Amino acid sequence: MSGTEARQVLRALLRAVDRNITGATGNRQWREFVIAEFRRGEQLADPAERERALQQARDYAFLIHSVREHKELLLSYNIGIPVERREKDMNVRAANMVGLQFPKLE
């Protein structure tokens, strides 16, 4: 593991934290925590432990991005709307796309 690789992992993790956590809440606590943990990891003497810490950082960055994408996907499916209404809205949109008007059923 080189210092360059560690810097790349740190930058990727900080980007993920800034875009998905700090940017959303304005709280810089997570960013500061990540930096502190990396500094603590630099003091590890065992190369295997340092590599494990870097892998955890990579995994955490991946988790942050995945959670954001999952939330976006759920919102795109309108999870707060009942299934019957969501299906009706989908049918109305489909009819409008082909130039038809869906009859008003109430």
Determine what percent of the chain is predicted with pLDDT higher than 90.
Answer: 25
Phi-psi region of 27 (alpha: psi -120 to 50; beta: other; left: phi over 0): beta
Nearest to 61 by CA among 38, 39, 45, 77: 38
Q: pTM of the prediction?
A: 0.65
Identify the pLDDT of residue 36: 92
pLDDT the model gives residue 77: 76
Residue 97 is predicted with a pLDDT of 81
Any idea where the domains of the chain sit in the sequence?
A: 3-80
105 to 5, 21, 95, 102: CA distances (angstroms): 61, 43, 14, 9
Among 28-37, 50-59, 72-81, 87-96, name the one with the lowest average pLDDT: 72-81
